[in-house]
Structure 1
Amino acid sequence: MVSKEATVYIVDCGSTMGERSHGRKQTNLDFTLEYIWDRITATIASGRKTAMAGIVGLRTDGTRNDLDSEDDYAHVTVLQDIGQVLMSHVRRLRNELVVSSTEAGDVISALVVAIQMIVKECKKLKYERKIVLVTDARGPMQTYDLGDIITKLKEDDIKLVVLGVDFDDAEYGFKEEGKDANKAENEAVLKQLCDDCGGTFGTLAQAVDELGIPRVKFTKPVPSYKGFLTLGNPEEYDSAMAIDIERYPKTMAATTPSASKYVVRSDMGDATQSTMTMNGEEAPNGSSDGLAAVKNAMTYQVEDPEAPAGKRDVDRDELSKGYEYGRTAVHISESDRNVTTYETSPGLDIIGFVDKNLYERYLDMSRANLTIAQRSNEKASMALSSFIHALYELDSYAVARIVPKENKEPRAILLAPSIEPDFECLYDIELPFAEDMRSYKFPPLGRVVTVSGKEIKVHRNLPTDDLQEAMSDYVDNMDLAAFGKDDEGAPTEYMPMDETYTPMLHRIHQVIKHRAVFPDTEPPPPYEILTRYSHPPDELIKKAQPALDRVLDAANIKKVPPKARGRRGRKEAPKPLSELDVGALLAQDPKRKHKRIDPKNAIAEFRQLIEKADEDAAVQDACKQLKDIFFDWIRHSVGNSGYGRALEAIRVMRDEMAEMESPAIYNEIMQDLRSKLLAGELGEGRSEMRYLIVVKKLGLIKASEVPGGVSDEQATKWRAAG
């Protein structure tokens, strides 16, 4: 069960927090809020009602707290009581957490108010209690009752975290020069307070710097299987092995948050109406985002000639499930559904063993799980330990069949022993069945064999000795194994596994957090740690450049000239590196500009005509000829047998017209093709051809692709079904 949390953030809003210290472009308060917003939005993202937080403003212009009748608690404002924080609260707090016009307000008094809030909310219940104080320590501080505060923090098990703006921190390597005497004294008092109550004391700069380091989420494991690990059949043989075990996931893949669909509520015009949440419930504290969840309504229709529009609605209960087999829907009734169920019973049965050195790692199919003996079962622990040591000493793995729950499909898994000084277990990974294996044969990379079986040592596809040596040197120069530096400057691994994070996952979280607080500003750049390993270090590239140059020389690498593009309505033929005009060799009677295209060689001859055409009329004639040909292919196609040739002809025409910057010719032909397909003039049941054109992205040429193309709206309208 997830534990309950109660955290109170004390934010110093005094007038001194409006300064910009040590060359920062933002005020000290904005610098502080970077940390506060990150922690609050992380709590909101968890969606847990048991993760509660409260906000206390220190050195505010006003006063509002349960102890405000006493002068010592002036300029301390409870901005948010302890409870679940919602997005509406964040927007309100953003307007309230601003720099005040006063320096009055006692840090210790704010600490007492935070303790009072936690005691009032949590009482004697089991909570994880925490107070986070962020201040520049430049306000007044009364220390006469620190002893009672320390005692209370220890009694209620409240963890205190003090983060100071420009506080000295020897471990972080920061010391503020010319520090104000009052700040230095207050800083020392707060540090001693943290030491006495077992709290955490540090400088805010370090906390902000560490915001970019993703936090690995640890969750309480849930067993995926509880039962027996068997070898043989215990029900028939006394010599069979049966051990009570529990199986848990070792790792879980973190997934990116999915987007949801919302619409602006239509009743937002009346400001006096009760505010509702996205789920249609009453919003807490009268807050609202003005959005409503999109609700999908699904209807089922069948063809009925007597119904309007030829279709009528039917209830879901009147339908039967069909399974797709090729292009045919195979119906299986509910009464016959039990035939499709493979009846199994839960179990983990060992079916064989394999030598550790013979197992191929590419066979792993899933995330890792671990198997331990049943808790508080000494007999099972001893038996499983014996089995683990036997596998370890014999350098073997066990192959097992697992069924986690009744009637679940069986899986084959590999059990590997793991022995540590204080922990023993079996790690398992899913194995493929025969149907999961795909075997492909490729020609060897290190040798060339002729049709007659002769092996050739020297070939253009085989690397020379010089190239092999140059590439080997280049790989050695790009080695990252010892390129990094540890804290003492000694060589170490450049990319430790525990410091590499999924950029997409954590970048999305970063953007969501930022937009939650600042919806109208652009997202910040990605954290440096997310992009650090996306490219090799510049120093290493510079070091390996001579080795790369030797590889280029040995491989005789030449730069391919860019593809020329026509500037006056037609493309220029690229000049081959061999200076051999292949087009002239293949062309038939190149002097004839208006040659008829042979349907048997339509695409090649169309390209030849386009290449030789120097007038718009010749281009239009070639396109018209090709149009008539692929129209004929579609019209006389048996099923979809002719669609492939027609699609290739359309693709070639589209590419040629786009490169010649003449999209109008192609778009006119495609408009004609669409109208004929919809009208059935190219044969009945040819709607699949239009669908394939859309799927292959061969629709109209848009203006965003080539000047003179159609608008996005016209292209979308062309893709529409009717």
Structure 2
Amino acid sequence: MADKEASIFIVDVSRSMGKKHNGREKTDLDWAMTYVWDKITTAMAGGRKTLHFGVVGLRTDGTDNPLSDDEGYANISVFQSPKQCLMPDIRALHEKIKPSNVNQGDPISALVLATYMMGEHTRKLKYIRRIYLITNGCGPMDTDEIAEIAGKINEDNIELLILGVDFDDPEFGFKEENKDKVKAENEAILRSLAENCNGVFATMADVISNINIPATRDVRPVPSFKGDLTLGDVENYESAMSIDVERYPRVRVARPLIASEFVRRSNVGPTEDSAQSSHTLGRDGDDAHLANPSHGLVSAKNNPTYTVEDSQAPSGKREVERSELDKGYEYGSTVCHVSEYEMNLFKFENRKGLEIVGFVDRNKYKRFFHMSETNMIVASRINEKAKLALSSFIHALHELETYAVARLVVKDGNNPVIVLLAPEIEDENECLVDVELPFAEDLRDYKFPPLDRIITISGKKLVEHRYLPSDDLMNAMSDYVDSMDISTFAKDEEGNPCEYAALDDIYSPIVHRVQKTLQFRAVNTTEEIPPPASILTKYSQPPEGLIQQAQPYLQKVLAAANVKKVSPKQKGRKRARSVDKPLSGLDVGALLAQPSNKRTKISAENAIPEFKQLLATTEDITTIKDAAQQLAGIAADYIRHSLGDSGYGRAIEALRVLREEMTELEEPGVWNGILIDLKEKIVKGKLGGDRKEMWWRIRANRLGLVDKRVSEFSGVSEEEAKAFLTARLP
């Protein structure tokens, strides 16, 4: 469980904070609230119930606080007491935090109030306590009891952060010219207060500049396995090794926030009888507060129904309970039924454990065997003997340059996995890093032709060929790759070469962009979403200097590879089309279009090229339809004369080309008619027997009807096309 945290923001909302300074387009208050909103919405997105926020308004028009009986606490209002911040709280704070009409109010008194509120909320419990004071330093300030206040802050172990609008900060490099005398004096007092409390004193420009830098999130690790790491049979042999270990996550994939679905409560009001869907965004388990009657939302739940075909039922289908169904598993296009009895009969009862089954040389292990995220295995924290034993085992693997292979069962009854155990020794930390390995069934062997030679049909090996890179091309490409080396392209603070795009400087754009977008929309409901932060897009493109540096080497590669520009590919395939003139100057299309060269029949041996050639030499719709029917008949013959499924591949390719060409020629009706006729033949067994496997392949390749979404000339709706393709065959 994460540590409890409580933070209170003291926000100066005086009249002076409603003005614009130093060329900014925002008022000082709106600019400073950029940081406050970021802190609050970041915590809200995490969904931690142990992270509480309070907001105190300084120099407000009225007075509303528990210490208001004392005159020194005038013009100070509590906007929100410390609690978990939710979307309704964001909306309420957004309405309250506005520039006031006064400049009266004491920041030191506001600190006293915040300290009092912190004590009332956290009492003596274990909390991380923070107080933020955000002000422009203008206006009067009472410093009589500032030393006692600093002592109280230190006594209560509160971290004080004073963030000033346009405060001078030599480290950041900002200094306000012609500063008001009162503001300069207040700055010095607040700086001294922060130093006495061991707190933070910074200018607002500094903290806002760091908002877009993604912050790392500390996660308290939870063990996924606690047990014994064994080598040998520990039950029968005393020489076997057994070490008490624990397994924790090491590297996990960071994923963006996910959407949760809600519906409006039907009994909220007379106008909300019908359920209307609404969405919110957050992490799993963070939507409990939204399923609240006061918000008018409840979590959307799925209520699936299961039906079976029943000729006696009114609709031809009858609903059944889930308990009446058995599981089925797809094997190709066949559904294999496996009963509960069979599942229990063949289920292997595994016992929890981590057993070493072998060792492998580190230099012979292939990194592409990794199949999972990594975990780390350490000795039990309360077992000193286990710590010594595991340390010895880790050092032995490290010295022998060896990895261990182990069988892992996380808990009783789980399926076993094979993991690789790699030793890691870094500073004073030692552990085993494990990653899942594939079983034999997980491996896929694919044969590819060699890249450095060509083997002819006769078996002769050619090392020089127009399809093989020459030595000049290889050397030019090697130099080009070397010219794009980023390991020393950047410069550090001292001007020395260093790595460009270091791993610690790269962040996941999708994770942080989604999070920042949601945070912005939570506060600003109508404004346009700003572009992504530059730190997220910095490494999406190579630096300009690197491109210029590599340009001469790229020209050498182009020259060595004899790269030539070709005419752009024809985009349109409509009947009224213009064909680009070939580079040779010979108009092949015109030659083929001559009456003596026109093709009218398509042969089954070379069907697809001849079909495309025929379409390229005619604009007559009758000829186009005739060519389509010829290719459809050839595809049907492929199916009819197929031994098993040997001819299905050729038929699928012919149908794919036919569908594409008819769509581009704005004749989707021709394809739709052909496909409907083909399905009818398959259903009735007119293509040489049972050919339903062919229809399954048509579905798998998405060769359905062309609907209006694909072509505006189609008379088939998207729903009709989907129903036609997915309907079960009788």
TM-score normalised over the length of structure 2: 0.88
| 3-state SS in 2 of match to 1:29 | helix
2:411 match: 405
Residue 512 of structure 2 is aligned with which of 506, 510, 513?
A: 506
> Structure 1 residues 263 and 71, CA, compared in 2 at 3 Å: closer, same or farther?
same
CA distance in 2, matches of 1:694, 1:457: 41
Cα distance in 2 between the residues matched to 1:249 and 1:161: 34
> Is 1:546 matched up with 2:552?
yes
Could you tell me which residue of structure 1 aligns to residue 135 of structure 2? 135
Letter in 2 for 1:461: Y
* 2:613 pairs with 1:612: no
TM-fit CA distance, 1:649? 4.2
Partner Cα separation in structure 2 for residue 245 and residue 568 of structure 1: 69
Structure 2 match to 1:310: 316
How many angstroms does 1:541 deviate by?
0.7
2:78 is paired with a residue whose SS is strand
Pairing 1:518–2:519 present: no
Is contact 1:677-1:687 (8 Å) kept? no
Selected match of 1:377 from 374, 383, 398 = 383
Measured in 2, the distance between the counterparts of 1:346 and 1:552 equals: 60
Residues 438, 657 of structure 1: CA spacing in aligned structure 2 closer, same or farther, 3 A cutoff? closer
| CA–CA distance in structure 2, aligned partners of residues 282 and 424 of structure 1 | 42
Counterpart of 1:212 in structure 2 is 212
The superposition leaves residues 629-677 of structure 1 with CA deviations (integer Å, 9 ceiling, x where unpaired) of 66787899999887755654454344334544xx2x22x2345457657
Residues 414-472 of structure 1 show CA distances to partners (whole Å, capped at 9, x for unaligned) of: 22222334222222222222222223332222233444444434221222232222222
CA drift of 1:589 comes to: 8.5
Alpha-carbon separation, structure 2, partners of 1:106 and 1:695: 73
8 Å contact kept, 1:249–1:369: yes
Residues 454/620 of structure 1: CA separation in 2 closer, same or farther (3 Å cut): closer
How do 1:381-392 and structure 2 match up within 5 A? 381-392=387-398
The CA distance in 2 between the partners of 1:222 and 1:238, in whole Å, is: 32
Q: 1:709 to 1:75 in 2, by over 3 A?
A: farther
Identity %: 48
Q: CA, structure 1 residues 28+270, in 2 after alignment: closer, same or farther (shift >3 Å)?
A: farther
Q: Secondary structure at the match of 2:210?
A: helix
* Alpha-carbon distance between aligned partners in 1 of 2:556 and 2:298, rounded to the nearest angstrom: 63
- How big is the shift at 1:158? 1.2
- Asked if the contact 2:671/2:705 (under 8 Å) is kept, the reply is yes
Within a 5 Å distance, the mapping from 1:486-635 to structure 2 comes to 486-565=492-571, 569-577=575-583, 590-591=595-596, 595-598=600-603, 601-623=606-628, 626=631
Q: Report SS of the residue matched to 2:259.
A: coil
| Cα displacement string for residues 578-601 of structure 1 (whole angstroms, at most 9, x for unaligned residues) | 56777789x698537682445665
Shift of 1:537: 0.5
Instruction: Decide whether aligned partners of structure 1 residues 336 and 710 sit closer, same or farther in structure 2, where only a CA change above 3 A counts.
Output: closer
Report the 3-state secondary structure (helix = DSSP H, G, I; strand = E; otherwise coil) of the residue aligned with 2:258: coil
1:261 and 2:261 aligned: yes
1:97 matched residue in structure 2: 97
Task: Tell me the residue number matched to 2:282.
Answer: none
Name the structure 2 match of 1:187. Answer: 187
> CA separation of 1:265/1:379 partners in 2, compared to 1, >3 Å: closer, same or farther?
closer
Task: Give how far 1:694 is off.
Answer: 9.0
Deviations 1:524-550 (A, max 9, x none): 211111111111111111122112112
Q: 2:44 and 2:484 mapped to 1: Cα distance?
A: 43
The residue that corresponds to 1:320 in the other structure is 326
Picking from 699, 711, 714, the partner of 2:717 is: 714
Instruction: Name the CA shift for 1:437/1:321 in 2 (closer, same or farther; >3 Å).
Output: closer
Q: Which amino acid aligns with 1:521?
A: E
CA distance in 2, matches of 1:610, 1:189: 86
Residues 78-131 of structure 1: CA deviation (Å, up to 9, x unaligned): 111111211011112112212222212221122122112111111111211111
Q: 1:481-538, CA deviations, whole angstroms, 9 ceiling, x for partnerless residues?
A: 0111222222111111111111111111111112222233332211111111111111
Give the conservation status (yes or no) of the 8 Å contact 2:59–2:76.
yes
Aligned-pair CA distance for 1:45:
1.3
What residue is the counterpart of 2:175 in the other structure? 175
- When structure 1 is superposed on structure 2, of 223-232 and 679-688 the one drifting more is 679-688
Alpha-carbon spacing, 1:682–1:609, altered in 2? closer, same or farther (3 Å): farther
Given that residues 57 and 77 in structure 1 are in contact (C-alpha distance below 8 angstroms), is that contact kept between their aligned partners in structure 2?
yes
Q: Return the offset for 1:478.
A: 0.9
Task: Decide which of 438, 456, 462 is 1:456's aligned counterpart.
Answer: 462
Show the counterpart of 1:201: 201
The 8 Å contact of residues 388 and 418 in structure 1, kept in 2 or not, is answered as yes
Q: Are the aligned partners of 1:355 and 1:397 in contact in 2 as well (CA < 8 Å)? A: yes
Amino acid at match of 1:447: R
Deviations 1:535-583 (A, max 9, x none): 1111111122112112111211112211235698333445554567777
Q: Secondary structure at the match of 1:427?
A: strand
**How many pairs align?**
711
Distance 1:673 1:292 in 2: 49
1:621 shift after superposition: 4.5
Superimposed CA distance per residue, residues 227-286 of structure 1 (whole angstroms, 9 cap, x where no aligned partner): 22222222212222222222222222222222223345555555999xx99999997998
Distance 1:543 1:147 in 2: 60
Retained in 1: the 8 A contact 2:65–2:77?
A: yes
Distance in structure 2 (CA, Å) of the matches to 1:566 and 1:618 = 19
Asked if 1:430 is matched to 2:430, the reply is: no
Q: Secondary structure at the match of 1:508?
A: helix
Measured at CA, do residues 672 and 447 of structure 1 come closer, stay the same or move farther in structure 2, by a change above 3 Å? Answer: closer
In structure 2, give the amino acid aligned to 1:431: L
Q: Does 1:367 align with 2:373?
A: yes
Structure 1: tracts of 5 or more residues without a match: none
Normalising to structure 1: TM-score of the pair? 0.89
Question: Does the 8 Å contact 1:223/1:249 carry over to 2?
Answer: yes
**2: CA distance between counterparts of 1:526 and 1:175?**
29
Distance in 1 separating the partners of 2:293 and 2:149: 36
- The 3 A distance-change label for structure 1 pair 623 and 291 is farther
Question: Cα–Cα, structure 1 residues 697 and 164, in superposed 2: closer, same or farther, change >3 Å?
Answer: farther
Q: Structure 1 residue 371: deviation in Å?
A: 1.9
Q: Which residue of 1 aligns with 2:490?
A: 484
Cα 1:555–1:283 shift into 2, 3 Å:
closer
Task: Measure, in 2, the Cα distance between the counterparts of 1:598 and 1:462.
Answer: 35
1:656 aligns with 2:657: no
Q: Would the aligned equivalents of 2:704 and 2:721 in 1 still touch at CA under 8 Å?
A: no
Cα distance change of structure 1 residues 321 and 579 upon mapping to structure 2, 3 Å threshold: same
The answer as to 2:451 corresponding to 1:445 is yes
Deviates more, 1:534-543 or 1:324-333: 324-333
Post-superposition Cα deviations, 1:284-324, rounded to whole Å, max 9, x if no partner, equal 99852x54433222111111111112111111222222333
Offset of 1:479 from its aligned partner? 0.8
Are the counterparts in 1 of residues 625 and 670 from structure 2 also a CA contact under 8 Å?
Answer: no
Distance 2:165 2:33 in 1: 11
Q: Distance in 1 between matches of 2:301 and 2:694?
A: 31
Distance 1:28 1:232 in 2: 70
Q: Is the 8 Å Cα contact of residues 478 and 544 (structure 1) preserved in structure 2?
A: yes
Q: Distance in 1 between matches of 2:628 and 2:272?
A: 65
Q: For 1:345, what is the secondary structure of its paired residue?
A: coil
User: Structure 1 pair 356/700, CA: closer, same or farther in 2 (3 Å)?
Assistant: closer
Q: Distance in 1 between matches of 2:637 and 2:370?
A: 51
Contact kept, 8 Å, 1:280 with 1:292, in 2: the verdict is no
Distance 2:179 2:717 in 1: 67
> C-alpha separation between the residues in 1 aligned to 2:289 and 2:25?
42
Distance 1:702 1:589, change over 3 A: same
Matched, 1:156 2:142: no
